[in-house]
Amino acid sequence: ELKVEQNPLFLSMQEGKNYTIYCNYSTTSDRLYWYRQDPGKSLESLFVLLSNGAVKQEGRLMASLDTKARLSTLHITAAVHDLSATYFCAVPSGNYGGSQGNLIFGKGTKLSVKP
């Protein structure tokens, strides 16, 4: 059974600092997704990582995927208040081409960026 673990679950940062959120998963998968959720809002796609070594960057956020280590990181550079949100990683439970369509989410990392 696929398990997806994020850490930390809560993160309070000061503006201007760097930090990394980790997403570990327990079984083989060659793809991973990152989503953002603002309080009271829906989820918004941030990154789609489709292969080992994939790296994607958008503004102050950079995501990477190491399928051998079953690990993805979401790195925050020089945090600003607007990045305050909950960040989720999600992993499909079957390999691409398989019949399964399950998507397993981590519990989310609630990020608070303070001035």
Partner 1 sequence: EAQVTQNPRYLITVTGKKLTVTCSQNMNHEYMSWYRQDPGLGLRQIYYSMNVEVTDKGDVPEGYKVSRKEKRNFPLILESPSPNQTSLYFCASSRDRHNQPQHFGDGTRLSIL
Q: Taking a C-beta distance cutoff of 8 angstroms, is the pair 18, 77 a contact?
A: yes
CB neighbour list of residue 107: distance below 8 Å, 6 or more residues apart: 5, 6, 9
**73: Cβ–Cβ under 8 A, 6 or more apart, which residues?**
20, 21, 22, 23, 63, 64
Using rule CB under 8 A, residue 22 touches partner 1: no
Tokens standing for 114? 């303070």
- Give yes or no for residue 104 binding partner 1 (CB under 8 A): yes
- Asked if 55 is part of the footprint of partner 1 (rule: CB under 8 A), the reply reads no
User: Of these, 3, 50, 53, 78, which contacts partner 1 (CB under 8 A)?
Assistant: 50
The smaller minimum CB distance to partner 1, of residues 29 and 79, is found at 29
Q: How many residues bind partner 1 (CB under 8 A)?
A: 23
Site of interaction with partner 1 (CB under 8 A): 31, 33, 35, 41-45, 48, 50, 88, 90, 92, 96, 100-108
